[in-house]
Amino acid sequence: MTLQQRIEKVEAMPDTQMFYWASYSYASNCPNFWAKGSAGYTTDIDNAEVYTKEQTLEQLKCDRAQDVFYPIESVQDAIYRSVDSQKIKTRI
């Protein structure tokens, strides 16, 4: 999809549309979302920043192919809980 097509797709959405932003990379099958407060990336949706349509259009103008923009509704439909085995303290 070209930059212009991406811009037109976002412009066609309601002004109230909110987005999660991600990089092109994944951790397992989880997108690396931009973290709250520009604190790097996160796969934890609770720690992901939410952006407005206006902010998303501004970021699109940077024309960075690695930037991926997800309408929040499409992400909400894909959320599931999992356990990070690296954080389990006791194993017998």
- The answer for residues whose C-beta is within 8 angstroms of residue 53's C-beta and 6 or more apart is 10, 13, 14, 15, 16, 17, 18, 19
Q: How many CA atoms lie within 13 A of 12 on its CB side?
A: 6
* Residue 24, pLDDT score: 74
List the beta bridge partners of residue 5. Answer: none
| Nearest residue to 42 via CA among 59, 20, 58 | 20
**Structural domain for 23, as ranges:** 3-80
pLDDT at residue 9 in the model: 96
Residue 89 lies in a domain: no
pLDDT per residue rounded down to tens, the chain (92 residues):
899 999 999 999 999 999 999 987 777 788 899 999 988 999 999 999 999 999 999 999 998 888 999 999 999 888 888 777 888 888 88
Q: Is residue 91 part of a domain?
A: no
| Residue 87 within a domain | no
Q: How far is CA 62 from CA 39, 67, 90, in A?
A: 20, 9, 46
Total count of domains within the chain: 1
Q: What DSSP assignment string belongs to 50-86?
A: -EEHHHHHHHHTT--TT-EEEEHHHHHTT------GG
Q: What is the pTM of this model?
A: 0.82
Q: Is 32 helix (H, G, I), strand (E, B) or coil?
A: strand
Residue 92 lies in a domain: no
